[in-house]
Amino acid sequence: MAQSYNVLIGGKWVGSAGGQTREIINPANGRVVALVPQCGREEVDSAVRAAQQAAPAWKAMTMSERSKLLLKLSGAILSRQKELAELETMEHGSPIRKTMNFDVPLCAEQLEYFAGVARGLTGETLPVGPWCASMTVREPLGVVALITPWNFPALMVAWKLGAALVTGNTCVVKPPSITPLTVLKLGELAMEVGIPAGVMNVITGPGETVGEELVKHPGVAKVGFTGDTATGKRIMRIASDSVKQVGLELGGKNAFVVMADADVDSAVEGAVFGAYFNSGQVCAAASRFYIHESLYDEFAEKFVEASKKLKVGDPMDMATVMGPLAYEGHRDKVEGFIARAKKSGAKLLLGGERPDTPETRNGYFVSPTIFGECNTDMELMRDEIFGPVVGLARFKTPEEAVALANQTRYGLSASIWTKDVRAGMAMAGRIEAGTVWINEHLIIFCETPWGGCKESGWGKDLSTMVLEEYTSVKHIYIDLTGQAVKPWYAILK
């Protein structure tokens, strides 16, 4: 039977005022697994107020005290690793081998990293003159709204939560409508380890209402958003009414460039990882492949063969490496891209249909799909598909490869595959993207900044840079002259 959940406001678990709920569906089999409240303006207001009330005491704590609470939360996540991994696999369809070994431990690691690194946060003293002391201090922003996507339900929250909380902000988290369960569990663990009531609130409901009300709310100082570019643009417009800060981690259409001297076998390994990790539901997924004409046929053949070997199936099975897409509507959207690509002149090399096995029949699965002979005019090479669907195209010269990689409205990431790392470095400097990998695709660390340019957004998550995103700089000036009338007052005398 489906379990009923409540939302977390001011340390209490409550339903929505109107009593409406939403069904949460396991995408591997279409079964309803939970009911969550559909919150509205009333709950948004209560959650923001709870966060406002908790803010002064949380800000007044030392960095060390907040850091220790985050470390406890990190430990609690690890101690409930299996439970959290199973919950996320159930609501999202991500294989259990991934949620157990990647998502959940990384959530814990994110919090551990920010608990440590924030303790090195400093201000500056500014050598203005001997008659004063001039300094900068970093202060929390206040209440921050964290609005996150469904592709890594818990991890996308952890990316922001650690930095936001340790620096003294309180928050209202709005997880995605279709996958809120793991984030509600994080809220429960936060309460268990003693994070004070109101510091972390979690409310569920539609983005168009709960999300937008948070963006509009005068009590919210900043919106940390990860999601679709269209939503990000809308949030930016709405936030401008109150001159609210926004951090935008948006979509991508990431190039994977295989140079003439690349090691084809390692490029194929990287391609499989870059294209199909999380069923391709990754902002940085490798999706536009540009391959030097001399290697194109060999790369295409080996990539197709390697893609055929992936075990697609029941995500609760430790042997499964690719699960379903996260919800039915998204599966339909991805299938729409495939249908149009088939008519576009691109050559279908693999997949293009639903896998048909007893394990996959009732879920929202799409087979690994590769199109060859693509060109940049095709929708397949322009728009973010967010599924296990890629396009391959040929290029002749490095200049052409750079031009093709940059022929996109997005600027999130790209990879270059070459044995000549000096040439790779030169190309990396010319590619318009927040991250460029050489002989790798998709690897991300707590220590490395993450965030795109162009329509992939602005601001950074991860690394010490994100600490700046969740604090504001205050300049404090102390007069040391001891004089009532300073020389510069002469201008009015």
Work out whether 385 is an interface residue with ligand NAD (CB under 6 A): no
Rounded CA gap, 430 and 398, in Å?
11
Backbone phi, psi, residue 372, to 5°: -110, 175
Contact 363, 93 (CB under 8 A): yes
Please say which residue, 80 or 330, places its beta carbon nearer to ligand NAD. Answer: 330
Which of 221, 209, 222 shows the shortest CA–CA distance to 16? Answer: 209
Please name the amino acid found at residue 435: T
For the window 408-437, what string marks contact with ligand NAD as x by the rule CB under 6 A? ----x-------------------------
In the window 238-257, what residues touch ligand NAD (CB under 6 A)?
249-252
35, two tokens: 């009911």
Work out whether 201 is an interface residue with ligand NAD (CB under 6 A): no
Work out whether 278 is an interface residue with ligand NAD (CB under 6 A): no
283 classed as catalytic: yes
Work out whether 151 is an interface residue with ligand NAD (CB under 6 A): yes
We find the least distance from the C-beta atom of residue 485 to ligand NAD, in angstroms, to be 54
Work out whether 313 is an interface residue with ligand NAD (CB under 6 A): no
Query: Nearest 5°: CA angle at 166, between 162 and 170?
Result: 90
Work out whether 386 is an interface residue with ligand NAD (CB under 6 A): yes
Please name the amino acid found at residue 214: L
Work out whether 287 is an interface residue with ligand NAD (CB under 6 A): no
Rounded CA gap, 146 and 162, in Å?
11
By CB under 6 A, which span of 10-18, 76-84, 294-302, 451-459 interacts with ligand NAD? 451-459
Backbone phi, psi, residue 318, to 5°: -60, -20
Sheet with 3-4: strands ordered across: 3-4, 31-37, 21-26
Work out whether 226 is an interface residue with ligand NAD (CB under 6 A): yes
Please name the amino acid found at residue 149: P
249 classed as catalytic: yes
Rounded CA gap, 214 and 395, in Å?
46
Work out whether 274 is an interface residue with ligand NAD (CB under 6 A): no
Please say which residue, 109 or 314, places its beta carbon nearer to ligand NAD. Answer: 109
Of 112, 213, 249, 359, which is the active-site residue?
249
Helix (H) or strand (E) holding 98: helix 96-98
- At which residue do the structure tokens 């220790």 appear? 68
By CB under 6 A, which span of 36-44, 125-133, 191-199, 206-214 interacts with ligand NAD? 206-214
Provide the annotated active-site residues: 249, 283
Which residues sit at the interface with ligand NAD, rule CB under 6 A? 147-151, 156, 174, 176-177, 207-208, 211-212, 215, 226-228, 231, 234-235, 249-252, 283, 384, 386, 412, 450, 452, 456-457
